[in-house]
Amino acid sequence: MTLLDLMAWCGHRNPQSTMYYVRVKPTRLAGAFAKADRMAHMIEVVVDQEAIASGSARPDAAPWKYYDLGDSYCSNAFWSTCPHRMACAGCFFNVPKASAKGQALEAQRSAARLLEEVWLSPDERAAVEGDVTALNGMLAKLQEVPALDGRTPGQIISGTDPEKLP
């Protein structure tokens, strides 16, 4: 739409009146950049509304918040701060969507789907942007960092039982 078309559509007689709405203000531009940056880190979260309503949404109770990872859900309420959040397949908190629990979560009528802002480390950002070298480097750094259940990624892959850890 040209400025004259926009001016006519808005009912303005003076193009300066229309220019007020078209002009890019520094605060508006900064807000647009901040919003675009936040949107790059949004992940879908499924929240069990029944657990919240019943009061059972506590850290020591059954999971009530599930991060949608694509092929699975993470039932760790603190997934956004987990150092292994990009390699969740063998983790204790991982719930495959094909499992009965995953399908029940999908079908749950009381589940609310929300977006949560998750900050990415520079390594994660490079991996998300498709840098395979950065992804391999990040995974190598995490090989000996234990997950929340106490196992390292190597132990998860080998199937080591967390109860038998020293």
- Comparing 8 with 117, the larger pLDDT belongs to 8
pLDDT single digits (tens) 94-148: 888 888 777 877 777 667 777 777 777 777 777 777 777 877 887 788 778 887 7
Q: What is the pLDDT of residue 124?
A: 75
Three-state DSSP string of the chain: CCHHHHHHHHCCCCHHHHHHHHCCCHHHHHHHHHHHHHHCCEEEEEEEHHHHHHCCCCCCCCCCEEEECCCEEECCCCHHHCCCCCCCCCCCCEEECCCHHHHHHHHCCCEEEEEEECCCCHHHHHHHCCCHHHHHHHHHHCCCCCCCCCCCHHHHHHCCCHHHCC
Q: How confident is the model at residue 165 (pLDDT cuts 50, 70, 90)?
A: low
* pTM over the 0.95 mark: no
Residue 111 pairs in a beta bridge with: 48
Distance of CA 75 to the CA centre of its chain: 13
More confident residue, 15 or 28: 15
pLDDT at 148: 72
Model confidence at 34: pLDDT above 70: no
Mean pLDDT calculated for residue range 12-36: 71
Weakest-pLDDT range from 7-21, 23-37, 101-115: 23-37
**pLDDT per residue over 48-98, tens digit each?**
777 777 776 666 667 888 888 888 888 888 887 887 776 677 788 888 888
HSE, side-chain direction, 13 A CA sphere, residue 18: 15
b/e sequence 138-156, b meaning 16+ C-beta within 10 Å? beeebeeebbeeebbbebb
pLDDT at residue 39 in the model: 46
